[in-house]
Amino acid sequence: MSHRVLVVDDDRDIRDTVVELLEDHGYQAIGASNGREALDVLRTSAPPPCLILLDLMMPVMDGRGFREEQLKNPAWTEIPVIVISAYNDVEVQARALAVDHLRKPLGMRPLMEAVKRHCSGAKDGRVDS
């Protein structure tokens, strides 16, 4: 497992906040503002992320479209995805995409616990403390 997390959200505030928090906790985090950008990140960077945090409603390519593309590439299918959304049916949507979910508004603890479950310890060891 790596400690790279891909954060896909069109809301810049959310994206920057989550990326920064993850970095503060010793992860390497990469932001993408839609599904298309996220696919570009997957194509161009190695190693693959240990986790993808995915918003559902985004312009250009939404979360569902991203997930479909992700599953087409055998190299990416194993990367776990957690959907983060404010929609009340996020649970149903996440189930349809065969992924986990977190609900907005979101606190740091559930976010970090979820990341910890999927990713190995970070460089400075803070995540394992």
Partner 1 sequence: MTTETANHQPLDRFDPTGALAEFLDHAPVAIHSVDAAGTILWANRAELDLLGYTAEEYVGQPMVRFAADPDVLLDMLDRVTHGETLRDRDLRLRAKDGTIRHVLINSNMLVQDGKQIATRCFARDITEQKRAERDRDRLIADLSRTVRLNDMFAGIVGHDLRGPLSTIVMAGQLLLGYVDDPKGVRTIERMLNSADRMQGMNSQLLDFARARADGGIELERRPTEVAEIARDVIEEVRFARPEWKIELEIRGDVRGEYDANRLSQVFSNLIGNAVQHGSPDTPLAIRIDGSAPAAIHVEVANRGTIPPELIPILFSPFRGSHQKALRSQGLGLGLFITDHIVRAHGGAISADSAEGTTAFRFHLPRRASGEAQVATFDAAAPSPSAEPAAAAGELNGRVHGSDAARAPDVRTDREVTRQQEERFQLLIESVKDYAIFLLDASGKVATWNAGAQRINGHAARDIIGKHFSVFYPEADVRAGKCEHELRVAMRDGRSEDEGWRLRKDGSRFWANAVITALRDASGALIGYAKITRDLTERRQLEEERVRLAHAQEAVRLRDEFLSLASHELKTPLTVLQLQLEALREQIGSHDPATLAKLDRADRARRRLTELVEALLDVARIVTGQFSLHLEQADAADIVATAVDRLHETAAVAGCALSISADHAIGTWDRSRIDQVVTNLVSNAIRHAAGSPIAVSVARDAGDVVIEVRDTGPGLPEGQLSRIFERFERGASMRHFGGLGLGLYVVRQITEAHGGTVTAENTTGGGARFTVRLPLAATSPDLVA
Stretch that binds partner 1, among 8-16, 26-34, 40-48, 71-79 (CB under 8 A): 8-16
Contact between 94 and 87 (Cβ < 8 Å): no
CB nearer partner 1, residue 107 or residue 125: 107
Show Cβ contacts of residue 95 under 8 Å, excluding neighbours closer than 6 positions.
Answer: none
- Identity (one letter) of the amino acid at 79? I
Site membership for partner 1, residue 68 (CB under 8 A): no
Of residues 79 and 106, the one with the C-beta less far from partner 1: 106
The yes or no reply on residue 81 touching partner 1 (CB under 8 A) is no
Asked if residue 61 binds partner 1 (CB under 8 A), the reply is: no
- Please report whether residue 100 would count as binding partner 1 according to CB under 8 A: no
Residue listed under structure tokens 């069109």: 10
State the nearest-atom distance from the C-beta of 18 to partner 1, in Å.
7
Q: Which of 43, 45, 57, 68 binds partner 1 (CB under 8 A)?
A: 57
State the alpha helices, DSSP H only, in 25-58. 35-44
Contact flag: residue 125 with partner 1 (CB under 8 A): no
Task: Report the residue number, 99 or 106, with the smaller CB distance to partner 1.
Answer: 106
Q: Which long-range contacts (CB under 8 A, 24 or more apart) does 121-125 make?
A: 121/3, 121/26, 122/3, 122/25, 122/26, 122/27, 122/28, 123/3, 123/26, 124/26, 125/26
